[in-house]
Amino acid sequence: MLAPILTFWKSLSYTTRFSIIAFVAILPMGLFSMGILGALLYYPVSFLFTSYPTLNDWTGDWVWPATIGVGMFWSFGFIWAGLAWHFLSNKLHSVHILRVIYAIICWAWAAVLWYGVINTNLS
DSSP states of 10-79: HHS-HHHHHHHHHHHHHHHHHHHTTTHHHHHHHHHHGGGGTTS--GGG--STTHHHHHHHHHHHTTHHHH
Residue-wise pLDDT for 17-71, tens only, equals 899 999 999 999 999 999 999 999 999 999 999 998 888 888 989 999 999 999 9
pLDDT of 9 strictly over 90:
no
The per-residue pLDDT for range 71-121, each reduced to its tens digit, is: 999 999 999 999 999 889 889 989 999 999 999 999 999 999 999 999 998
> Are 114 and 49 in contact, with CB atoms under 8 Å apart?
yes
pLDDT above 80: residue 1: no
